[in-house]
Structure 1
Amino acid sequence: MRMLIGVLSLALLAGCVSPAMDTARSKAPVRVLASDKATALVAECIKFSWEDESVFGVDASAYLNSDKAGQQTVYTRGAESFADLVPQGTGTAVSYYAKQPGDAAAMRRLAMLATCL
Structure 2
Amino acid sequence: MTYVIALPCVDITDKACVEECPVDCIYEGERMLYIHPDECIDCGACEPACPVEAIYFEDDLPEEFEHFTAVNAEFSAGLGSPGGSAKVRTAQRDHPLVAALPKKPV
Quickly name the TM-score band, shorter chain normalised: under 0.3
More strand by share: 1
Higher relative contact order (CA 8 A, sep 6+): 2
More helix by share: 1
